[in-house]
């Protein structure tokens, strides 16, 4: 016990002795006794205040940690090469520039939300504008209804910038009752507009990409390498950043008791073939580095299991690779022919409408009016047919990439990259996979896959080939046995969550020790934080 | 006791122990005051 604690203990005992000998048999004596107690209390409260000041001063000093400035600097540099998606060799400018997300939004999330529809139409128009293509109502002639709505959209929405206006709502409602498929008409009109401008857009994108590379003085491979290397450095800095670690304790995400020496010894003993605590600092560093590698592999394996259904679908397509040759071209040709037929019919309709108002011979007028009357139903049936063809074409574009890029030597990572390059396809697969689980947020699940593919640690999936997929757990276990880690295939197949938690804890512990934080100070902060909260409540 | 430099020398653990000691002592004094003060 420290001297000061002993001294204070004596001080308390002495005071208690003083109180014990004071008589309390009469009212007067009791009054004197209370006066003495109050005097002692006043002194004790002063002492308490002095100690609390010292506690608070230490607390403030320990939590006064700033994030490593390199983190924000590196994040800024990464943002400057975030356009890496524009260089994806697998997809087309339609996906690279995010047109697929806009049409996908209209296709999947309309559900009566007109503001959402208008926001997406506006985003589409703005993307074209950014590419130097100015659109007008005249470009929206997929159906008379599309034209009718877009006329108001340009006149009212674009001019005022208010896409929730009453005028737009009224125009939409009026059309909706005549044509409930209006949003599909607009969506397909957009896809058609992209198609007829695709060459121009591709040229513009290529010239922009060339400029990006020349400004950075890099080639495409250099840009990709730069992106992943910077992300790797950022991740390492974030994982060992004192501020980030301390925040985890302050936010109750981590508890210091979970990193106690006893708990950590048990974990190291179970997972490391070498005795960690008797190892030299250099050996300890090596052991921990191997656990960091294992944790990254476990994250990869976990993501692989989660999204395996996607790989399975691609593999099924790959089995029938020979039948997929030219299927994209054929489907595209069929679609474009039907689209031209529709557009011709639209022109005819406009002519008939005009002439029906002018025709003076009653039987001609009646004939024209009949054609005008029948047109919406015929046109809508054609648009529905076109919609299906577009959906089939979305599938065919993925098939065409399988034909071009997939063989037995293709890595699992590359298969995932194909999927995230075509969002509509990935969404359709995920929707089917999670059909019995309505609580799953499919967009969020897919974002998880995109984030995973864009993070730098994909050593395993970057190397394991399609042909080796069945041996994946044995490859991982053997790899880490060589690095003196006790890992069996069954741990991966049956206890992955526990394994992730345990290895994660070792890596967290390692990161704490690598940071500038002191475990004893963290424990102090954790306790004082609770005391402050308690004091505030009182 | 009011000399800050002495407290500054204490480890985190002992500083918190000392605070607890004072706190318990004050609780004792308050209890005494209440009990003895209400006796007739």
Predicted pLDDT of residue A524: 97
**φ/ψ bin of A466: left (φ > 0), alpha (ψ from -120 to 50), beta (otherwise):** alpha
Among A418, A443, A475, give the residue marking a domain's end. A418
Question: Which of B2, B14, B36 faces A47 most closely, judged by CB atoms?
Answer: B2
Residue of A2, A519, A535 for testing the chain B interface, max B β-carbons within 10 Å: A2
Spell out a b/e string for B7-34, using b for 16 or more CB atoms within 10 Å of the CB, else e.
Answer: beebebebbbbbbebbeebbebbeebbe
Q: Comparing C-alpha atoms, which of A390, A397, A348, A376 is closest to residue A189? A: A390
Strand partners, A272: A485
Q: Band the pLDDT of B2: cuts 50, 70, 90.
A: very low
For residues A8 and B18, the answer to whether their CB atoms sit within 8 Å is yes
Residue range(s) defining the domain that contains residue A142: 85-221
Predicted pLDDT of residue A128: 96
Residues 6+ apart with CB under 8 A from A341: A382
Rounded Cα distance between B23 and A49, Å, is 10
Axis crossing angle, helix A281-306 with helix A308-319, rounded to the nearest 10: 60
Same domain, A188 and A107: yes
Predicted pLDDT of residue B39: 62
Q: Does A426 reside within a domain?
A: no
Kindly report, residue by residue over A24-69, the tens digit of the pLDDT.
888 899 999 999 999 999 999 999 999 999 999 999 999 999 999 9
Asked if B31 reaches chain A (Cβ–Cβ under 8 Å), the answer is no
Residue with tokens 């298969």: A415
Q: Number of structural domains, chain A? A: 4
Kindly report, residue by residue over A374-398, the tens digit of the pLDDT.
777 778 889 999 999 999 999 999 9
Cβ of A2 within 8 Å of Cβ of B14? The answer is yes
For residues A215 and A111, the answer to whether their CB atoms sit within 8 Å is no
B18 to chain A, minimum CA–CA distance in Å? 6
Q: What would the two tokens of residue A2 be?
A: 């420290």
Rounded Cα distance between A46 and A143, Å, is 84
pLDDT at A358 > cutoff 90 = no
Please state, as a whole number, how many other Cβ atoms lie within 10 Å of the Cβ of residue A196: 11
Please state, as a whole number, how many other Cβ atoms lie within 10 Å of the Cβ of residue A220: 13
Q: Band the pLDDT of A178: cuts 50, 70, 90.
A: confident
Predicted pLDDT of residue A455: 86
Q: Where are the beta strands (DSSP E) in B1-40?
A: none
pLDDT at A421 > cutoff 90 = yes
Q: Tell me the pLDDT of chain B averaged across its residues.
A: 85
Cβ of A34 within 8 Å of Cβ of B37? The answer is yes
Kindly report, residue by residue over A60-94, the tens digit of the pLDDT.
999 999 999 999 999 998 887 778 888 988 999 99
Q: Does A448 reside within a domain?
A: no
Predicted pLDDT of residue A269: 94
Rounded Cα distance between A425 and A92, Å, is 14
Q: Does A228 reside within a domain?
A: no
Rounded Cα distance between A90 and A390, Å, is 19
Question: Which of A11, A41, A50 faces B2 most closely, judged by CB atoms?
Answer: A50
For residues A484 and A276, the answer to whether their CB atoms sit within 8 Å is no
Rounded to two decimals, the ipTM of the complex is 0.92
Between the CA of residue A243 and those of A205, A473, A513, what are the distances in Å?
A: 41, 36, 13
B2 to chain A, minimum CA–CA distance in Å? 6
Rounded Cα distance between A257 and A478, Å, is 33
DSSP tally for chain B: helices H, then strands E? 2, 0
Residue-by-residue DSSP string for A175-195:
HHHH-TTHHHHHHHHHHHHHH
Question: Which of A4, A5, A37 faces B33 most closely, judged by CB atoms?
Answer: A37
Per-residue HEC secondary structure of A438-468 comes to: CCCCHHHHHHHHHHHHHCCCCCCCCCCEHHH
Chain length of chain A: 538
Predicted pLDDT of residue A112: 67
Residues 6+ apart with CB under 8 A from A309: A429, A433
Strand partners, A485: A272
3-state secondary structure of A142: coil
Asked if B39 reaches chain A (Cβ–Cβ under 8 Å), the answer is yes
Kindly report, residue by residue over A445-500, the tens digit of the pLDDT.
999 999 899 888 888 888 888 888 888 999 999 999 999 999 999 999 999 999 99
pLDDT at B35 > cutoff 90 = no
Residues 6+ apart with CB under 8 A from A522: A62, A246, A249, A256, A512
Same domain, A163 and A268: no
Q: Tell me the pLDDT of chain A averaged across its residues.
A: 91
Q: Number of structural domains, chain B? A: 1
Question: Which of B4, B26, B28 faces A45 most closely, judged by CB atoms?
Answer: B26
B36 to chain A, minimum CA–CA distance in Å? 7
Same domain, A44 and A89: no
Residues 6+ apart with CB under 8 A from A347: none
Kindly report, residue by residue over A437-460, the tens digit of the pLDDT.
989 999 999 999 998 998 888 888
Predicted pLDDT of residue A363: 66
Q: Quick one: CA torsion of A12, A13, A15, A19, rounded to 10 degrees?
A: 130
Predicted pLDDT of residue A457: 86
For residues A334 and A389, the answer to whether their CB atoms sit within 8 Å is yes
Cβ of B6 within 8 Å of Cβ of A4? The answer is yes
Q: What would the two tokens of residue A359 be?
A: 């025709």
Measured in whole angstroms, the distance separating CA A184 from the mean position of its chain's CA atoms is: 28
Spell out a b/e string for A329-353, using b for 16 or more CB atoms within 10 Å of the CB, else e.
Answer: eebbeebeeebeebeeebeebeebe
Same domain, A217 and A142: yes
Q: Does A226 reside within a domain?
A: no
pLDDT at B40 > cutoff 70 = no
Same domain, A209 and A98: yes
Residue range(s) defining the domain that contains residue B28: 4-38
Chain A residues within 8 A (CB-CB) of chain B?
A: 1-2, 4-5, 7-9, 11-12, 15-16, 19, 24, 30, 33-34, 37-38, 40-41, 44-48, 50-55, 58, 520-521, 523-524, 527-528
Tell me the average pLDDT across A117-128.
95
Residues of B in contact with A53 (CB under 8 A): 4
Q: Does A455 reside within a domain?
A: no
Predicted pLDDT of residue B3: 46
Rounded Cα distance between A369 and A380, Å, is 18
């Amino acid at each position: 016990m420290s001297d000061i604690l002993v001294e204070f203990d004596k001080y308390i005992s002495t005071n208690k002795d003083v109180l014990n000998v004071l008589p309390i048999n009469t009212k007067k004596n009791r009054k004197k006794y209370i006066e003495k107690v109050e005097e002692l209390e006043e002194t004790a409260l002063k002492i308490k205040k002095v100690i609390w000041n010292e506690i608070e001063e230490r607390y403030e000093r320990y939590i006064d940690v700033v994030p490593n400035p390199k983190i924000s600097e590196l994040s800024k540099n990464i943002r400057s090469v975030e356009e890496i998606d524009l260089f994806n060799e697998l997809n087309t400018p339609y996906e690279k520039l995010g047109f697929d997300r806009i049409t996908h939004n209209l296709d999947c999330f309309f559900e009566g939300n007109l503001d959402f529809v208008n926001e997406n139409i506006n985003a589409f128009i703005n993307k074209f504008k950014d590419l130097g293509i100015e659109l007008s109502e005249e470009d929206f002639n997929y159906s008379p209804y599309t034209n009718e709505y877009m006329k108001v959209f340009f006149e009212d929405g674009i001019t005022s910038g208010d896409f929730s206006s009453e005028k737009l709502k009224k125009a939409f409602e009026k059309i909706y009752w005549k044509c409930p498929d209006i949003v599909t008409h607009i969506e397909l009109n957009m896809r058609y507009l992209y198609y007829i401008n695709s060459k121009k857009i591709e040229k513009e994108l290529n010239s922009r990409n060339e400029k990006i590379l020349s400004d950075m003085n890099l080639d495409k491979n250099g840009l990709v390498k730069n992106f992943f290397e910077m992300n790797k450095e950022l991740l390492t800095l974030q994982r060992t950043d004192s501020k980030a670690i301390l925040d985890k304790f302050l936010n109750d995400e981590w508890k210091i008791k979970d990193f106690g020496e006893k708990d950590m010894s048990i974990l190291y003993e179970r997972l490391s073939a070498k005795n960690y605590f008797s190892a030299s600092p250099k050996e300890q560093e090596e052991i921990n580095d191997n656990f960091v590698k294992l944790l990254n592999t476990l994250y990869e394996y976990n993501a692989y299991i989660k999204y395996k259904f996607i790989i399975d679908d691609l593999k099924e397509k790959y089995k029938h690779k020979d039948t997929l040759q030219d299927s994209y071209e054929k489907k595209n040709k069929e679609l474009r022919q039907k689209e031209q037929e529709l557009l011709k019919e639209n022109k005819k309709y406009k002519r008939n409408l005009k002439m029906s108002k002018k025709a003076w011979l009653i039987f001609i007028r009646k004939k024209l009016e009949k054609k005008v009357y029948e047109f919406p139903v015929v046109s809508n049936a054609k648009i529905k047919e076109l919609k299906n063809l577009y959906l089939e074409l979305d599938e065919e574009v993925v098939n065409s990439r399988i034909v071009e890029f997939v063989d037995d030597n293709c890595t699992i990572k590359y298969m995932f990259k194909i999927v995230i390059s075509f969002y509509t396809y990935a969404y359709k697969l995920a929707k089917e996979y999670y059909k019995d689980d309505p609580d799953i947020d499919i967009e969020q699940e897919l974002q998880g896959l995109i984030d995973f593919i864009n993070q730098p640690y994909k050593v395993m999936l970057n190397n394991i080939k399609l042909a080796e997929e069945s041996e994946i757990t044995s490859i991982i276990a053997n790899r880490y046995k060589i690095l003196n880690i006790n890992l069996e295939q069954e741990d991966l197949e049956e206890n992955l969550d526990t394994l992730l938690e345990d290895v994660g804890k070792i890596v967290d512990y390692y990161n704490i020790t690598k940071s500038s934080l002191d475990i004893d100070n963290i424990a102090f902060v954790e306790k004082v934080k609770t005391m402050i909260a308690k004091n505030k409540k009182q | 006791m009011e000399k800050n430099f002495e407290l500054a020398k204490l480890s985190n653990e002992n500083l918190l122990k000392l605070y607890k000691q004072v706190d318990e002592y004050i609780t004792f004094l308050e209890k005494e005051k209440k009990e003895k003060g209400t006796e007739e």
